[in-house]
Amino acid sequence: MRVRSRIRIVRKENVMSRSIAAAACALATLVSVVSSAHADSIGEVDTVFKLIGPDHKIVVDAYDDPKVAGVTCYVSRAKTGGIKGAVGLAEDKAEASIACRQVGAISFSKPLPEQEEIFNERLSILFKKLRVVRMVDKKRNTLVYLTYSDRVIEGSPKNSITAVAVDRATLIPLR
């Protein structure tokens, strides 16, 4: 009797493990489909040749600020290749650089909060994200953009910052 009950417990644990894995996969798919902004790919350069799968590379993407017309942020980051990179299981490095520029007349669709996450992109299947946060420097009438990565447990102190000065004639509306 004891052996049979142990076998049942082990089978139940296996079923639960598979259910958790399936839920994690579904969550990862949902997270990858839902994003806060659409990136336009600008270009990429290979950094490491991989015999099987894509090479490791640095990619450059452009993000238009969703609430500030006339501002585009260019983000460069490492992208892991190889077999894991090809199937989406690789964890990209927590290193990125950002440069935001005025690319047209700056206007605001509505008042901005003093600080707001405007973009994020997953860097691993579940736990790591690259984030871009906009902050408003009211005193200098400037938009400050910060990029960093985080994990559920521990983020990275590596970050990059840029700023876009707004003409004094155009005040940044705040909530």
What pLDDT, on a 0 to 100 scale, did the predictor assign at position 171?
92
Q: In degrees rounded to 5, what are phi and psi of residue 63?
A: -125, 125
How would you classify the pairing of strands 56-64 and 68-79?
A: antiparallel
Given this model, what pLDDT does residue 144 score? 98
Pick out the chain residues at pLDDT < 70: 1-37, 50, 53-55, 82-94, 123-127, 151-156
The overall pTM is greater than 0.85: no
pLDDT at 173 (0 to 100): 94
Q: How far from chain centre, in Å, is Cα 84?
A: 19
According to DSSP, residue 166 is labeled P
How many other C-beta atoms can be found within 10 angstroms of the C-beta atom of residue 45?
A: 10
